[in-house]
Amino acid sequence: NCSIGRNVRVAACYACFSNVNSRHTGAIAPYINQLTGALLSVTVFDLEVKCRRAALAVFQETLEKYGQLLNGKGNLAKWEYYEVGQIQNCFLDLAIYIAGFDEYRQQIIEHLLEHKFNHWDHSIRELTSQCLSKLTILCPDYMSFIVIPKLLKDSLSIDLNTRHGALLSLAQLIHGLCDLITDKENQKELIEKYFTQDMTSELKEVLSKIFDEKYFRGSGGEYMRPAVCFFIKKFSLSKLLQTQFKIDETFINNCENFLIQCIEYNKESVQLAAAETLPYYCDIDNYHQNESKLVDLFIKNLRETSKDYVRSGYCLALGSFPNFFLSKNDNFRKIIATLISASKCVSGPIDSQSKVFPLKISVKSIEAESSWIQARKDAIKGLVSLFSSVKSSEDLKKFNLSETDFLDVFECFLNGLEDYSNDSKGDTGSKVREASIEALEFMVSLSGRQLNLNLTKDSRLIERVLSGIMQQAIERIDRTRCIAGKAFTSILFNENLDFDFVKDLQKVFVKQKCEKIDWNSAYESMPMFIQFLNKKQFQDNLLIGFVYSIGSLTESVVKSATSSFIKQVKIIEQENPLDFKFLIDKLLNLCRVHLKVDRLSCSLIKTVDLLIQNDLFSNPVLTEDINYPLEFLTLFLEHVKLTKDMQRLISYTDFFCDMLQFDDEKIRKSTMVRLMIQLCHQYSRIRKITASKLFEALINLPDIFQSDDDNNECINLLTETNWDQSMDTIRAIRNLPQAVLLKLLEGLHNTPTPLQTTTTTTTNQNFNFSNQPKPSIGIGLDSCVIPLRHSGLNLIQTTDFFYPLIEDPYIMGKIACANVLSDLYAMGVTECDNMLMLLSVSTKLNDKERDLLIPRMIQGFKDCASEAGTSVNGGQTVFNPWIIIGGVATSICSTQEYISPDNAMVSDVLVLTKPLGTQVAVNAHQWLDNPERWNKIKLVVTEEDVRKAYLRSMSSMTRLNRIAAQLMHKYNAHAATDVTGFGLLGHAQNLAKYQKNEVSFVIHNLPIIAKMAAISKACNNMFGLVQGTSAETSGGLLVALPREQAAAYCKDIQNQEGFQAWIIGIVEKGNRTARIIDKPRIIEVPAKETDGELW
Q: Cβ(1023)–Cβ(1016) under 8 Å?
A: yes
Q: Cβ(700)–Cβ(791) under 8 Å?
A: no
DSSP code per residue over 584-641: HHHHHHHHHHHTT-HHHHHHHHHHHHHHHHTTGGG-GGGGSSS-HHHHHHHHHHHHHT
Helix (H) / strand (E) element for 970: namely helix 962-970
Tell me if 473 is assigned to some domain: no
177 and 231, same structural domain? yes
Taking residue 680's Cβ as centre, other Cβ atoms within 10 Å add up to: 16
Task: Return d(Cα 327, Cα 336) in angstroms, integer.
Answer: 13
906 and 894, same structural domain? no
826 and 905, same structural domain? no
Beta bridge mates, 426: 423
Q: Cβ(432)–Cβ(312) under 8 Å?
A: no
DSSP code per residue over 878-914: EEESS-EEEEEEEEEEEGGGS--TT---TT-EEEESS
* DSSP-assigned letter for residue 423: B
Q: Cβ(453)–Cβ(441) under 8 Å?
A: no
Pairing of strands 834-842, 872-880: parallel
Orientation angle between helical segments 918-927 and 943-958, nearest 10 degrees: 140
Pairing of strands 1062-1069, 909-912: antiparallel
Backbone angles phi, psi at 511, to 5 degrees: -60, -45
Please tell me the total number of residues recorded for the chain in this structure.
1095
- What's the distance, CA 608 to chain centroid? 30
Please report, for the domain that includes residue 1006, its CATH number: 3.90.650.10
Task: Return d(Cα 718, Cα 739) in angstroms, integer.
Answer: 15
Tell me if 613 is assigned to some domain: no
Tell me if 468 is assigned to some domain: no
pLDDT along the chain (1095 residues), means of 10: 75 87 79 84 90 88 70 57 84 90 88 92 93 92 92 89 92 90 78 84 82 74 89 87 75 86 92 93 69 83 88 92 85 92 74 43 35 87 92 87 91 91 80 94 85 81 94 92 93 88 91 88 91 92 93 88 93 92 92 87 93 90 88 92 88 91 86 85 86 78 60 68 75 50 47 32 32 48 80 86 86 94 94 93 88 92 94 90 92 90 91 95 91 88 92 94 95 94 93 93 93 91 91 94 90 91 92 90 83 67
834 and 732, same structural domain? no
Please enumerate in sequence order all residues whose Cβ is within 8 A of that of 582, keeping only pairs 6 or more positions apart, or say none: none
* Residue 741 lies in domain: 627-757
Helices (H) and strands (E) in the chain, counts: 50, 11
The sign one gets for the Cα dihedral 961, 966, 969, 971 is negative
939-970 in b/e burial notation, b at 16+ Cβ within 10 A? eebeeebbebbbebbbebbbbbbbbbbbbbee
Cis peptide before 358 (omega within 30 of 0): yes
924 and 865, same structural domain? no
Of 220, 246, 272, the residue at which a domain comes to its end is: 246
- What's the distance, CA 961 to chain centroid? 25
Q: Is 874 left (phi over 0), alpha (psi -120 to 50) or beta?
A: left
742 and 633, same structural domain? yes
Instruction: State the burial class of residue 167 (Cβ atoms within 10 Å of its Cβ: 0-12, 13-18, 19+).
Output: buried
Of 96, 116, 136, the residue at which a domain comes to its end is: 116
Backbone angles phi, psi at 842, to 5 degrees: -70, 135
Q: Which of 614, 522, 599 is nearest to 561 (CA)?
A: 522
CA angle 277, 278, 280 (to 5 degrees): 70
Tell me if 409 is assigned to some domain: no
1073 and 959, same structural domain? yes
Instruction: State the burial class of residue 868 (Cβ atoms within 10 Å of its Cβ: 0-12, 13-18, 19+).
Output: buried
- What's the distance, CA 1078 to chain centroid? 24
Tell me if 526 is assigned to some domain: no
* DSSP-assigned letter for residue 424: T
Backbone angles phi, psi at 887, to 5 degrees: 180, 180
Please report, for the domain that includes residue 891, its CATH number: 3.30.1330.10
920 and 893, same structural domain? no
Orientation angle between helical segments 331-344 and 291-304, nearest 10 degrees: 10
Q: Which of 47, 34, 29 is nearest to 106 (CA)?
A: 34
1055 and 1034, same structural domain? yes
1076 and 1046, same structural domain? yes
651 and 726, same structural domain? yes
What pLDDT does residue 688 have? 86
Q: Cβ(629)–Cβ(609) under 8 Å?
A: no
Of 757, 784, 807, the residue at which a domain comes to its end is: 757
Tell me if 436 is assigned to some domain: no
Q: Which of 53, 97, 109 is nearest to 73 (CA)?
A: 97
Tell me if 109 is assigned to some domain: yes
**What's the domain count of the chain?**
5
Tell me if 210 is assigned to some domain: yes
Q: Name the residue type at position 144.
A: S
Please enumerate in sequence order all residues whose Cβ is within 8 A of that of 806, keeping only pairs 6 or more positions apart, or say none: 812, 815, 922, 954
What pLDDT does residue 324 have? 84
93 and 10, same structural domain? yes
